[in-house]
Structures are given as structure tokens and as C-alpha cells.
Structure 1
Amino acid sequence: MALRDFFISLSENQTLSNAAGQYGLKLGAQSVVAGTTIEEVIESIRKLNEQGISCTVDNLGEYVTDESEATQAKEEILAMIEAIQVEELDAHISLKPSQLGLDIDIDFCYDNLYEIVERAHEYGIFVNFDMEDYKRLQPSFDILEELAKSFDNVGTVIQAYFHRAKDDIENFKDYRLRVVKGAYKESEEVAYQDKLDIDINFIELIEYHLAHGHFTSIATHDHNIIKHVKYYVEQYDIPKEKFEFQMLYGFRKDLQLELAREGYQVCVYVPYGKDWYGYFMRRLAERPQNISLVTKQVFNKKTNTLLAVAAGAYLLGRLTKKK
């Protein structure tokens, strides 16, 4: 838990995030982030599509407090939607409400999201609302439900570590949902702290939505959970068209291809953009194996990986101070 908390604290450091954006994809992030431009990410999506894998695309960014920055993020997402349509890609959009003005003004955020969802609806492109930390959870759900009155191409994420997750998944059972464990630091008042408790709730949520829900994106790299899902859908005769396995760009590529060859729907979460630092640090916080994966490409194998990444974060801070 100490290691997880360390990387989550780094993910929330705005100074380091700003420095990371200025100095490009360093510290191994290029292995888990598909690029900084639409042109770069299109090429990554096309390669995955050729392997029978669909994509959900995230223009990275969150916690925006400036209206012009939120508007710029909206325009970038609209451009990505146009690119998906023009290039005939098998892809849809993932976005964070806080990138589009949730922390600025609820009506401003709603207008930005309405424009995005409306454009995507014209092209038959699905838009997924990524859920963030607890204090932004209900406001995001409220906007989603309001937009769902006008559009049928929206869905969201249920985070298994929240105590309220079972109520939420029942409330949104008619939506396309991605079920995840959760990647933010939350208090014990609102979230499970023990890994076993989270895993148990995760499986129960997946089973509930597979049995009662619309469409389920099962976000995991855990082969044991994947094996359990395979058994469950076979046992209850749930068609493969009702669910997909969803994994992160750059992780478990062999497993992605194996599942696709077996006839399962596989979707890769493809992040891109300059504001990659917070996302990258949360991926390091989730599993110790992720640290090894992303650091071995840029550090000597004899280097302690924790110290290496921490040193990288420190370096970004020093570079910022020099400027």
C-alpha cells in the first residue's frame, strides 16, 4: 500500500505533471501511451484493428480549472471523433468530465459534453465517461443521466472499490458499462482498502452486469479473473456479443491476441496526448509488475526500479525549477 500511495501522490502533483508535458514521453511512458498527437494514435489504433482488436481512445487530461483549456480539450476530442470516422477505425471515445470543465462549472461542462456526444452520435460512435475520484463521482453520473435522455451512445465506469458500486451498477444496468477495480486513493469511509475485498466485489459486479445488464467491458489483466469470466459466460450461455475484455495499451499484448484468436471481443484502452503524467503514475500504482514493465526499457536492469522512477519524478521537478 505504501508503494501504491507513493505513486498516487505523484500522479496528483501538478508541478510534475506540467513538467512532464513539456519534456515529452520520458521515464518509459512511451510504452503505455500511444503518442502525443492524433496522427500518432491513429497509427496505433490501425495496427490493433488489423489484429482484430477494437480501441477506446482517451485524450489524456483531468482536473482542468481553466475554461480555455477545457475548450481546447473538447476540440481535440471532436477532432479525434472526426478522425475515427474518416479513417474508418474500430474505435470509440473515453473521456474524463474533469478535463471538460466539471471543476469549473457544471453547466459549462454539460455543454462541452453535449457537443461531443452529439457529434459522436451522428457517426454512431460510443462515448464512455471515465469515472474519477469519489467527490466527482455523483456529479459525473448526474451529467451522464441527463445526456442519456437525448442520446443512446453514452456509458460509464463502475469502480469496484467503492462501497456504493453495487447500487450504481443496478442503477445503470441498462447502460454499456466498463467494470474496473479503481485507481485513486480513497478513504475507508467510501472505499474498500483490502485487495481481496475489492477483487470479490469486482467479480460480483461483473457477474451482475453480464446477467442483467446491457453490455459489459471487463477491464482486467488478471488471467485468473479472465478464466473465471470464461467459465461464467459458458455456464450461463451468455453470448460473446454481450461483453468484451478490455486491457490497457502496452500491457499483456500476448493475452490480448490470445483472447482475440479465441473469438472473444477485445478492446484496448489507448491513451494519448501531452498530459500523460497522472495516467502513467496511476498505472504504476496499480500493480508492482507495471513498474518493471515500463522502467526496464529506459533504465539499467541493475537499477532499483522504485528509485529509478522516483528519481525520474525528482528530475522533472528540478527541470521545472530551472525554467
Structure 2
Amino acid sequence: MEALSRNFFLYLSKNKSLNKMAKRYGLKFGASKVVGGIDFDRTVSVIKNLNNRGLCTTVDHLGEFVNSVDETRERTAQEIHTIQTIAKEKLDAQTSVKLTSLGLDIDHHLVFENMRNILTEAQKHGVFVTIDMEDEVRCQGTLDIFKGLKTEFDNVGTVIQSYLYRSRDDINDLKKLLPNLRLVKGAYKESADVAYPDKKDVDDNLKQMIKDHLTNGNYTAVASHDDQIINFTKQFAEENNISRDLFEFQMLYGMRTQTQLDLVKQGYKMRVYVPYGNDWYGYFMRRLAERPANVAFVAKGMFRS
């Protein structure tokens, strides 16, 4: 049943007609519970509230698969505005970007130029930028661009997904760059040719990735709502005398809020992933696909005043 639910919402996430309708109606149907606002200026108050509770953040301007050069330039300018606002408002925030919104599917030179402009501005203001990982067909292209940028900028990281067979090899390949990596399970529908079909294998691979990356001595963001993964990370770090300064936990805005606050009380760094923008539909559907509990959470929000 869980697999059917996941496949259903992943199927819906790619429906262009529903995505168009979602933009028209704004943050309806429970999306406001997991999306900070329709633009960054209206998301600032959400971030300040999280910061005041001891939670740091990373923000993501929702939208992907851009096919217009002009639109990639517009998205770049919006990202720079976000970075400038983070600095102006003194927010405890980083940013996350999807390369398909900056031209990955158009031209690698274009996306590299857009990222250089973003990272230059971010470096000026001391803001860290994470390149989000998308589906498997774009994985190698994303890593190639990350490697190129990492030779020039220290304020950039990326994401490795444990449901892909290749991921431990990718961590090993990247370790010479001393990368800051966000480690996740992954939220796209992939073929069994490239990804583990069974949840246990995905979980086991994530644990191995956490061990690999922490053992390499590189900064690790463990992005999971799974108590098993969180407890594994705590125990591994304690048993191997790994400083809490070398890792953090990350969770999605609106999900497991009490657990987030509990981790802060326990002395761990806890970063909340706060998406914003009117192109929220695909993101929202993938969140519903990840965990059946998310569907019940959103259903309650829809009917609560």
C-alpha cells in the first residue's frame, strides 16, 4: 500500500496541468503548512521565527526544469536578491538551488555562469549555497558542475542520495575536494537499474554514506526525518569521538517540528529546509510521496482554521 501511495503522488508530481492550476490558486490545499511563502520577502518572518527557536535554515526557491535562457537569468537575479535579503535581515540561513532552474537542461556553460554569479554574491555576504540533487539522469551533470565550482568557491556544497547505487562511489570520488554534503534518501521515482527498490537497502546505504563521509572528516548534513537514521548518526559520532561541529541534522519545514526542537535542546545543530515560491506543486507532491504520515498531516491542516 505504501508503494502504491508513493507511486501515485510521484505520478501526480509530474502532471503539468495540475502544476499550472496550483500556481493559479496559490498555497492552497495544505501547502502553506510546508512552504514558507509565495516569495522570499514573505518568507522572512517564517525564518526569523525559526531562528528565534534555535533553528537555522536553508531556503529554496521552488521551481525546476526551466527551458528559457531569460528565465534562468531571472531566477539567478531572484537568488541574488534572496542572498542580499539574508544578509540585510541578519538571518541564520543558507540557500539551496536546483540547477535545472538555472539552465542545466539548456547549456552547461549557462548554468555554470549563473552559479558563479550566485556564489560570488553569496561569498561576499558569507552565505553558504547547496546545489540540490535532482533525478538520476542529471546526477553526473550536477556533480561535474559542483566539482568545477568547488575549485573556485568554498561556500558551495551538494547532495548525495542513498537510493542510487552509485552514491558511495560518488562520496569516495568527491572526498579529495573536502566537500560539505547533504546526505538524503532521495525523492524521485527511479528505475531499479539505477536505484535500490527496497527501503531497507536505501536505509542501509544511507547509514554507510554517513559513516563514509564522517570518517573522511568532511562536514555532513544528515537530512532525514527517520528516528533510526538520526539515532544511528548520534551513536556513530559518539562512539568515534566525532565532534558535533562536524555534522548537523536537517528536516523539512512543517514536518516533525517537536523533534527538531528536541534536537536543538540536546545540543545538536538542526537546520530546517524552507521552500518558497509559487511553483510549489512538484515539491509538495514529492513530500506526500515520501511518507504516508505526511498525507494525514496535510489533511488535518486543510480543515483546521
* Shorter-normalised TM range: over 0.9
Runs of 4+ residues deviating >2 angstroms: none
Residue equivalent to 1:288: 292
Residue equivalent to 2:169: 167
Residue equivalent to 2:100: 98
Pairing 1:224–2:228 present: yes
CA offsets per residue over residues 79-132 of structure 1, 9 Å max, x none?
000001111111111000001111111111111111001110111111100000
- How far apart are the structure 1 equivalents of 2:112 and 2:126? 20
Instruction: Give the alignment partner of residue 242 of structure 2, picking from 238, 243, 258.
Output: 238
* C-alpha contact 1:169 1:209 (8 A) present in aligned 2: yes
* C-alpha contact 1:175 1:213 (8 A) present in aligned 2: no
Residue identity matched to 2:116: Y
Q: Give, in angstroms, the shift of residue 172 of structure 1.
A: 2.0
Q: Give, in angstroms, the shift of residue 208 of structure 1.
A: 1.2
Greater CA drift, 262-271 or 4-13? 4-13
- How far apart are the structure 1 equivalents of 2:163 and 2:271? 22
- Counterparts of residues 105-124 of structure 1 (less than 5 Å): 105-124=107-126
Pairing 1:266–2:270 present: yes
* C-alpha contact 1:36 1:274 (8 A) present in aligned 2: yes
Q: CA RMSD in A?
A: 1.1
Residue equivalent to 2:185: 181
TM-score (norm 1): 0.91
Residue equivalent to 2:155: 153
CA offsets per residue over residues 217-241 of structure 1, 9 Å max, x none?
0001111221121111111111110
Could you list the runs of 5+ residues in structure 2 that have no partner in the other structure? none
Q: Give, in angstroms, the shift of residue 299 of structure 1.
A: 4.3
Pairing 1:8–2:7 present: no
- How far apart are the structure 1 equivalents of 2:120 and 2:287? 31
Residue equivalent to 1:308: none
**Tell me, what secondary structure is at the counterpart of 1:40?**
coil
Residue identity matched to 1:127: V
Name the count of aligned residue pairs.
300
- How far apart are the structure 2 equivalents of 1:135 and 1:94? 20
Instruction: Give the alignment partner of residue 139 of structure 2, picking from 137, 144, 147.
Output: 137
- How far apart are the structure 2 equivalents of 1:58 and 1:190? 27
- How far apart are the structure 1 equivalents of 2:278 and 2:106? 21
- How far apart are the structure 2 equivalents of 1:23 and 1:12? 18
* C-alpha contact 1:37 1:273 (8 A) present in aligned 2: yes
**Tell me, what secondary structure is at the counterpart of 1:214?**
coil
Residue equivalent to 1:64: 66
Residue equivalent to 1:251: 255
Could you list the runs of 5+ residues in structure 1 that have no partner in the other structure? 301-323
**Tell me, what secondary structure is at the counterpart of 2:284?**
helix
